[in-house]
Structure 1
Amino acid sequence: MEDGNEKAVYRMCGMLLGGKENRRALSGVEYIASGGFSYTAYRLLHWSDRFGLSADKLLDAYADFGERGFSAAQTALMRYYAERNDLQFLYWAQCAAPQSPEAQYLIARQYALADNWEKALNWYNQAASQGWSQACLQLGKSFLYGCGVSADSAQAEVYLEYAAEHGWVEAQILLADLLAAKGNKDALSWYSLAAVQGSAAAQTALARQYLTGKLTDRDPLQAFKYARTAADRQFPDALCLMGDLCRYGLGIRPDLSVAQQYYRHAAALGSMAAVQKLLSEAALHQPEHYEKLKSEALQRQETEQLCRSAAACLDGIGQKKDYARARRLYLEAVVFNHADAAAGLGKIYYYGLGIPADAGSAAYWFGIAAEQNHPEAQYYSAFLLYHGQGTAMNVPAAYDYLQAAADNGYGNPQELRAILEQWQCER
């Protein structure tokens, strides 16, 4: 190999990679890379990465190209470190930012975590102006909730529509909510799109629309279909709605016993509407259990309020971010096995919000929420397991969690399924 020229080595490495002789191919990569900056060398390096060579072994070569100003290498390094929540991603994001809206988005996210909305919005706007749909989602949420800007539902709608068109389920639901509030029937299309991608919230919203007939003709059978699908995903509002459908015989034969089971299940998962229905039923038919149920209801109500307040502190909704208070409130709520509280604690420890980052604690809390079918927690758990951060590496479990997150409509399911294809061969 020492006497071969660059083109010959390049061709030989391609043949070795095709035959999965990665060790010899890596020697060729190192040989070409050591000869100085060239596009051919980078192509081979990128090719090696695709064929499953250890990314760690390629970092020095990528870094060499990145320092020489090769934007594709800078982007590759940025993604590598960002996926592992390693702050080295910021250096490479700043290098890649002039050419990369993805880099601009990641820089914006970091400023948002630091509660520096002025800089965050500046970077989000740069990324959005170049069509980065995830930046549009964040801008839409900023205008919707008044984070760093005055709340403006019209502006929120513009940004959310762009993100929704590009597959972001959260944007589809938020946009649908805005449209539904105005009586705009286009809301049904967005709810339907999110529902097809697995969102239990969208499925429940559609069930309510078919039940009430506000934006479409009443159809209890369709309401039952969507409510049952969402209830199967353990979505509290859907479970409560299933209780109503069973109780009053809407789309199904009436069955008070089954309705009570749904209400109890929904109440256990945090549905205050279900709690109130159980209380009313007890007051009429089981007065001996009323005081106990009332005490439990008050506790659940307090837990839900703790979670809502913690989320507002964490995301800066209607106030400045207060990570210390968010953590304290989540710790109070998680005692009662609340999935949102566990997921919130996972994010605090994962990103080191107000405390040092702790991958072990993040993996612990995300794991608790993921087991309760929390889509966001499933997503984070997947990457922690895949990279062995804070927990033992477990690619099959990582794959299953990411599959669950995609099936539950988290983020952009199409992008998640592309990652799943890459992970499939490693199971």
Structure 2
Amino acid sequence: MRFITLAPQFDRIRVARWVGAAMLTLPLLTASPTRAEWSAANDEANRQRMMASMRDTAAANDRRNADASFQKGLAGGRSTTGGSGGTAPNSATPSTGAFAATPGAERGPQSVVASRTVFINIEETTPQMVARVTREAAEGKAQSQYNLGRLNYAGLGVARDDVAARRWFGAAATQGHPAASAQYGYLTMYGRGGPVDRDAARAALKIAAAGGDSYGQALYGMMLITDAVEKRTSDAPLPEAIGLLTRAADAGEAVAQATLGSVIYFYGTNGAEQDPAKAIHYLKLAAAQDHPMALQVLGEQYMVGGTVLEKDTAKGWALITKAADLGQSEAMRPLGLSLVQGSNGQAKDPARGLKYIRMAADQHYPAAMGDYAAILYEGALEPKDLARSVRYAREAADAGDGDAQVMMARFAYFGDGVPKDMTVAARYARLAADSGHAEGQHILGALYSGGEGVPKDMKEAVRWFRKSAAQGNADAIAALQEPESIAAARGM
């Protein structure tokens, strides 16, 4: 079965190394960050971004309050050093100043404020602030609608509620509020607080980008790149998208930095030249902000090194581990497999490795679900559980994982955990074979050879055996030496 033959290598294309002064010319991966589905890591990063945004806005308003108090103190001849309250360094909860009726402009990624000590006059309690913002939002004030969306999204003063957040962001977005449009675009793009609505997301993000919101620019640029991937036009120049991403990245937006680093300049797509130095530059910026994908990709680069980065396995694993701990399933899998098998410089730690594989499987990452299905089947790391093995394998196979498709073909062929069904076996074998999986090609050839689940057709069998043999599959090579295969091959 799959597990005992798996090598915990990093994705062959994703970690293709930069040789000499240039990288290999590679196709855009379907697993690139622009194609990534919503994940808990993405969502938590955006919520933290929202909280940081509120902290920065609060700081700006606190400064205005302090300045106003200072001017008032000058006019009245009173001391201004004993304000009615202070904000603690590294406060996790923004002051009510974050929701003043007319806050200052918000720019950049709103990275977390390390510390701040200002004196403010607290005019509202949190419940009073929530009540006021709610009232003003109901009256149609766009800024208050945006603020109420932030309160609901971050769970400040109210229970966290993505449905309400989406509704209020959407209300402000219809009035052209750039920051609200960016958040509404994010929620509708990833189906948070409601169904996925790419048309609504595209319209909202376009407004946000045009309004100068850097997060909106990042997401809209990323969406344009995604559209190109889906239309298979990644080689066509997209100066608008690259321009938006560059402006957002240079303003500090991690998602833009990660996209430029792991897609645009990593591969040289959408009209950009492949540029290892730029790719690493942006990956480092995004990784410094704990962007999970950037941490993973940068870690992979350190694992093998090149002309831009000196190989540093320890640093590579540190970055990959951090990405995994932040919820990046693509980082969990190689880390987990390396720990289970004691490979790639990792000390053998099956229990810890299993934890990461299981975490990635629980996020419905197809390759990890296939790994976990094999673990459950083998019964070495966990007690054998055929029913769960089949369940994970089927979901992974239906999501496109070739190894899991081979597992399902075998399950159906032998009636192992599922009813014996040659038609089902042939269907999964064909899915794996069509994706280029060597064992899937061999199995499909064998089914054609025996007329099981498909009509007997030795020429078709030979065609699949040849494809599998070309990838070094020993069973396919042996099958081509069978007299029936030799006879069929003469007439081809």
Q: TM-score, normalised by structure 2?
A: 0.44
Structure with the higher fraction of residues in helix conformation:
1
Q: Relative contact order (C-alpha < 8 Å, sep 6+): which is higher?
A: 2
Structure of higher CA gyration radius: 2
